[in-house]
Amino acid sequence: MMHPASSVQSILFKTICVITLMLGLTDGDVIKTFFYNYDKAIRPEFENNKPTVVNCSLYVESFGNIEEANMEYKVFTYFLQYWKDPRLAGKLNRTLTIKGSDIRNVWVPDPYCYNARESNMMIPDEETHSSLKVKPNGEIKYSRGVTLLASCIMDLRHFPLDSQECSLQFGSYGHDTEDIIFKWVPGATEVIIGNKEMAQFMYKGSKLTSDVEVFDTGSFSTITATFSFERRVGYFLIQVYFPDMFVVTLSWIVFWMEKDDMGNRMALGITTILTIMFLLGSLNGNMPKVSYPKALDWYLLVSFSFVFLSLVECMIVFIFASSAKKDEEQSADNHNGGVTNMGPNDDLEMVNRATKADKTVVDDVSLRSSRSIKKKRMEKIADNIDRASQVLFPLTFIVYNIFYWTYN
């Protein structure tokens, strides 16, 4: 049953509305009449020494860029607040909708986003999408279009195979828990999302929590919406992983090249090393300067190690091949230098030299045989190193990739 005072107040307001319509007054005059003797500086339930309970809901129209370099993300939302103002109850028998600058006539909460770097929550209502509805029983629904650029602290250890959680935390700027208590709308479990599509992330869900933050100025009621995102890895597969795999595979061509072709082997090895370094540098140029290696850093560093080791293998093979070639050339020089001129009339000297020559020939044959064996052994070692590398390098790289993609 309606209180007699409220009934009289309702009849009085309706009478005033009829009179204003007869006099041709504007909607603004009607609204001023509706809020006659209403103090917007005083919050509801202030006289009863009770906190005003403000239930909130969040509708996200879309997400903007999630930037790792600045650790921030952009979100376009509609922030809805519900509370009851008994002072406005019983004045109407239908819902009154107020927009723009007329909302100034009503007391409204003062929420702000704790982790926002840029926000339009504090701009006047006439400069953004906003509306306020007053029901006959005094219940109020206040809706505002809000654009936020908020901080999002990210853990990039598993980048780009990572998932991130970004939040929006709201609370009153000037009213502590003795004045205002913020809550999510009863029964709400997650945020309603309009457009979930993003270029680099997939939206995975959200959760709603309430808490009390304690500061030097008092305890403040807060509500938090946390969004979960999973990074799309397709871009990095095309731009980084596949080119890196191709470069590493290209570096293995040296294992099939001629052992003594050191110039071309070194040129290919150095080119692939520089390519890996370029990929690593270009990627980290757009990333925050974190003090820990990311998953992609590890992948590129291991790839760099494979390319570098292939270059080391070339040098080892060249050392064995060049050593064998040097022994062969030295043996040929000794053989050509073993013949000397002898005097035509010195028979005794001729006999002595012939005897020594026979011994030299025997020694030279033995030496050349020994060097030939050493040369073949050196060449065989070089060939074995190349053949082993042809198998071990690809096999090890495949095993590493299986481990990397399984545990990241």
- The C-alpha angle 340, 326, 336, rounded to 5 degrees, equals 15
Q: Mean pLDDT per segment of 10 residues, for the chain of length 408 residues?
A: 48 48 52 82 91 96 93 96 93 88 92 95 90 94 96 95 96 93 94 93 96 91 97 94 95 88 87 90 84 94 94 89 62 51 54 56 56 72 90 96 93
Tokens of 380: 């065989």
Question: Rounded to two decimals, what is the model's pTM?
Answer: 0.78
DSSP state of 338: T
CA 97 to chain CA centroid, Å, is: 43
HSE at residue 260, side-chain half, CA atoms within 13 A, is 8
pLDDT at 193: 95
pLDDT at 355: 57
Who's near 104: CB < 8 A, 6+ residues apart?
40, 125
pLDDT at 369: 59
pLDDT at 329: 56
Residue 38 CB burial class (10 angstroms; 0-12, 13-18, ≥19): middle
pLDDT at 21: 43
Three-state secondary structure call for residue 325: helix
Tokens of 154: 């990210």
- Nearest to 2, CA basis, from 95, 96, 93: 93
